[in-house]
Each structure stands twice: as C-alpha cells, then as structure tokens.
Amino acid sequence: MNRRVPLLFLNVFVIATCGLIYELLAGTLASYVLGDSVTQFSIIIGLYLFAMGIGSWLSRFIETNLAERFVDVELAVAVLGGVSAPLLFFSFANLSYFNVILYAVVIGIGTLVGLEIPLLMRILKDELDFKELVARVLALDYVGALAASILFPIFLVPTLGLVRTSLMFGILNAAVGLWGTWLLFPLIKPGKILFLRIKGVFVIALLIIGAIKADTLTVLAEEGLYQDSIIYAESSKYQRIVVTRGRTGFALFLNGNLQFNSFDEYRYHEALVHPPMLAYPGTPKRILVLGGGDGLAVREVLRYKSVESVTLVDLDPDMTSLGKRLPVLSDLNRHSLDDKRVEVINADAFVWLSDTKTEPFDVAIVDFPDPNNFALGKLYSTRFYKLLRSKLKPESSVVIQSTSPLYARNSYWCIVETIEAAGFTAKPYQTTVPSFGIWGYVLAKQTPFDPPKEVPKDLDLAFLDSRSMEDMFNFPVDTDRPKEELEINRLDNQALVRYYEAEWRRFE
C-alpha cells in the first residue's frame, strides 16, 4: 500500500481541481443567464462551501467499506458535476424554477466533494503520521484549487466552453474513481471490484459521448433561450457570443442579452452617433468609440468626411474580430472595422483611459452594455466620466447609451446625474427602437450648450432628421426626471447596478 500513497495524494489534487471547476462553472453560467455576477458568485460560493461542510459532517456516518464508498462518491461527483452545465442550460431554457435547480445542483456537488477528502484521509490514516497526513492533503487541496482558478478563465472557458469543460472534468473525476479500484484494491471486497469498474467505465463512456456531442448539446440548450435559429455561437474569454437569424433579420446576443437586431439597429446607432457629432462646434476629426465592438457605431461615424481617425476600444478581441469576419455582421457595418482610419484596441476601457496618454478627442461615443453587473457598473461611475473628460478638448462632445428611461427610469436618471456630478453639462434624450422599446442616451459637454437641431441631408440617414432630432430631447411625464433624489453612481457604492437590478427584475 505504501508505494500507492503518492498516487492517492495525486487524487487529492485532481479532486480539488475538479471541485472548484464545478463551482466556477455554476457561478459563470448563473451570471451569464441571470446577470449580476457578484451576487451570483457570492451566493454560489457560500452555498458550495456550506454544502462541503455538510458532506464532511455526513462522512462520519460512513463507518465501513470506506474504499468502496470513496469510489462511489467519485462516480457520483463525475455524473452530477459532468452534466451540470448542460443540465443548467436546459433548465434555464425550459423551467420557470431555474434557481431551485441551480442551487440544488451546487449543494449536491458541494456535499459530494465534502465527502471526498474526509474519506480519503481516513483511508490513508494508517499509512502516515496524522500531522503529516493533514499537511499534505490540505496543501494539495489548495494547490488544486489554485490550478483550477487559473485554468478556468485563461484556457478552459475560451477554448472548451462551459458545456465541454463540465463534461471533461466529469470524465476526469470518473477516471479517479475507476483508478481507485486499482489503488485501493486491497481495501475493496473482491466481489465488488468488477461492479465498481463496470460503473466507472459506463460513467466515463457516457460523459465521453456527451463531450463528443458537446456542441450539439450547447446548441440544443441555447435554442431554448432564443426564439430564432442560431447561426453563430462561441465563448470568448469574456462572454458568450450568439448570433441568431429570424424573419426580421439577425440579432447579436452577449451573455444572453440582446445587443441589436439588424431590422432596426439603424435607429439605435443613428440616435447614438449623430447628436454628438453634430454638437461638436467644428468639423470632428478625432473620434473615440468605447465599446461597440460590432462596428455599427463606427459605421455611422465614418459618414463624416472630416473624420481622420477613429479609436475603438473594446474589451473582447473575439467580438471585434467577429465584426470583421462574420459576413452578415461585416456587411451590416459596411466593413467599418477594416477602414484604414480605424484603430481597434482590445482593452478594458477603464484601464485604458487611466493608463493611456493620447491627444484629446473631438467626440467620444460610449456604447457599453447596460450596467447589469458591477464590472459594467464601474463604466458608468463618476470616476470613469472624469477619466473620460481628461481625454477630451474643452469643446468636445460625448454621448453615453443609458438604458431605457421608461423601463428603468431611476437607472437612466442616475446615469444623467452621475454624468453631471463628474463635471459635464448633460442633455438627456430618448428615441424608440422597436427591439428595445423607449431607449435613452445622454449628450454631454464640459460647458453649457444647446443640443443640435439640424441634420444635414447629405448624411443620407434612414431615421434621423431635423424634426426627429428636436423631438428626441423632449421627455413625457412618465420618463422625465423623477422628483425623488437619486444616488450618484460611484465606485464604492455602485448605486446604479442596484437601481438597474430592481427595475428590470420586474419584467423577468
């Protein structure tokens, strides 16, 4: 048995790695489909650790056949952990009680993982001094957790995706269980060995079939999330990118959230880009676009012959690459990202504004996703807007897409007041985009100004003209600034994310 002890310690490392991977999978998937990643990860980590405690406590009731029970637990973890991602995707698409399934899966996996280490320590207690046993097992457990936390965001999600990662680590867990029938051979009843090995081979074979069909499983799961057929899907390092095609055209979704529909995106992007371009007192030459990796905002910017350079800063290189290589998207953006005047920079906009020294821009267009989590909320904070001011000329104009003043009234006006608190004069405006409903923007400058009223006809726009430009700056009663005082969105309070979650949750 002594020569097998190092191999059993290797099991500890594998077990710890697999366990944390399942926890990260659940947290990531929940943040994809439910938003608010901080809340989802916080709840899931807490439940998972609590469940591990339950598993450790339950291990005291297993008094005999420890080696057999250890193999059984490994195979159970392999099955539940391995199918966790596809199961959760299907549940979200088809069941109204997704949260119940999510938390049940997390508690189930956590309980089983909590059983593993105590059982293995009891199996090894006669081979090593207790002090040495505890030190080695816990050290390897933590090292395995570190390996998982590094591999998951850097390699596993971008390369394998959530479903395939889930199934692959289920196979690894099952392999540990099957391997255990040889390592722990003297401790397992002879009549049980063959049965355990058959179970192990069956579980591995089942998960291998799932891994081979992972793309099919992912598509089947996602088809339940989207009304139209999926024509493109990938998991980047930062998000899940899905493109669908339906009767009205094609649509882009990031982490399940609609970014645009080709049927009416021109209304959104014309309203976003042209007010700040026309509000600049001279001829705009240097333009900054933050977000907008699909290239559609850049398309509108390039209508102006005076433009000499466009700097597009978008976090995800896979998104900006897609804007060039996916034909339906590159045709829609008129190959704007291939224009020689356009420089694409893949970076966190907050960090880029903090660290980059550059000549000031004439116009800045901020086209981030809605602030449905704290990572996005920082991009709507006073600190962010002050950083943005440092990259502008005194006469420069800036626009920020700002969610819906009808569906999320407090969120919208929180953004307006945050921009004003950062030293800008703000001119809020809104328009109708059928895919989104009433949608809001904020036009801002560092000095008092009047919004533009005239739209040159040579721009050849499909929606925006002089009459609709003036109408956009008028707010009816139900979308106007609320009377109650709103919090300013700062890095240390993220008030906007709280407003946003509370308001949009009403429509789920």
CATH of domain 2-221: 1.20.1250
For the stretch 461-485, what's the b/e string if a residue is b when 16 or more beta carbons lie within 10 angstroms of its beta carbon? bebbbeebbeebbebeeebeeeeee
Q: What totals of helices (H) and strands (E) does the chain contain, helices first? A: 19, 11
How many CB atoms sit inside 10 A of residue 96's CB?
7
Distance, CA of 187 to CA of 454 (rounded, Å): 85
Kindly report, as residue ranges, where domains of CATH 1.20.1250 are found in the chain: 2-221
- Quote the pLDDT of residue 347: 94
What is the structure's pLDDT at 394? 95
Is-contact 494 374, C-beta < 8 A?
yes
User: What architecture does CATH give domain 227-259?
Assistant: Roll (2.30)
Global confidence as pTM = 0.78
Q: Give the pLDDT confidence score for residue 184 in this predicted structure.
A: 83
Q: Cite the residue boundaries of each domain of the chain with CATH code 3.40.50.150.
A: 262-507
pLDDT of residue 227: 80
Counting every residue written for the chain, the total comes to: 508
Question: 399: which strand partners?
Answer: 365, 443
* Cα–Cα distance measured from residue 420 to residue 248, given in angstroms and rounded to the nearest whole number: 38
> Looking at domain 262-507, which CATH architecture does it have?
3-Layer(aba) Sandwich (3.40)
Q: Give backbone dihedrals phi and psi of 309, rounded to 5 degrees, phi first.
A: -150, 145
Enumerate the CATH 2.30.140.10 domain ranges in the chain, comma separated. Answer: 227-259
What are 103's two structure tokens? 């938390």
Q: Which of 197, 195, 158 is nearest to 180 (CA)?
A: 197
Cite the active site residues. 367
pLDDT by residue, tens only, the chain of 508 residues: 456 667 777 878 888 899 899 999 888 888 777 766 677 888 899 999 999 999 999 999 998 888 899 899 999 999 999 999 888 888 887 777 888 999 999 999 999 999 988 888 888 787 777 787 788 888 888 888 899 989 988 888 878 888 889 999 999 999 988 988 888 878 888 888 899 999 999 999 999 998 888 877 777 777 767 788 888 988 788 888 999 999 989 999 988 888 999 999 999 999 999 999 999 998 999 999 999 999 999 999 999 999 999 999 999 999 999 999 999 999 999 999 999 999 999 999 999 999 999 999 999 999 999 998 888 899 999 999 999 999 999 999 999 999 999 999 999 999 999 999 999 999 999 999 999 999 999 999 999 999 999 999 999 999 999 999 999 999 999 999 998 899 999 988 889 988 998 898 787 6
pLDDT, one tens digit per residue, over 437-475 is 999 999 999 999 999 999 999 999 999 999 999 999 999
**Region of residue 452 (phi > 0: left; psi between -120 and 50: alpha; otherwise: beta):** beta
CA distances from 271 to 260, 336, 435 (A): 14, 18, 14
